[in-house]
Amino acid sequence: MVKKKSKKKPENLDDWDGFFTECLDESDRGTVIVDAAFLDEHLRELIEAFLIDKPKEVELLLGNDRPLGSFGARTRAAYCLGLLKKKNSMT
């Protein structure tokens, strides 16, 4: 299977700095919410980088209330596409 090269630039380090700064100012519950939103957005970007360059079509797949609009659906799709690996068990 041939994988497409990512069309996006490498991640901006400012995103990570802002993420960590925001987490420091949050409660434990707020940190979990911020973390989940951050991971969801980066997962969307990862999948989007491997799809066709047709934003309207991609939005029909990845947008809210769409087949890959939830974090769970995106996680499963990324795994099935070979973009994520299962964590290896230490046992």
Task: State the burial class of residue 68 (Cβ atoms within 10 Å of its Cβ: 0-12, 13-18, 19+).
Answer: buried
Instruction: Domain count for the chain, please give it.
Output: 1
Report helix, strand and coil shares of the chain as percent, to nearest 5: 55, 0, 45
Classify residue 43: in a domain, yes or no: yes
Q: Tell me the pLDDT of the chain averaged across its residues.
A: 81
pTM listed for this prediction:
0.68
Q: Which of 79, 12, 7, 15 is nearest to 43 (CA)?
A: 79
Is 22 inside a domain boundary? yes
Give the tens place of pLDDT for each residue, 47-67. Answer: 999 999 999 999 999 999 999
**Could you tell me if residue 4 is inside a domain?**
no
Tens-digit pLDDT profile for residues 34-47: 888 888 998 999 99
- Within a domain: 2: no
Confidence of residue 14 (pLDDT cuts 50, 70, 90): low
- Which residue range(s) make up the domain with 74? 13-80
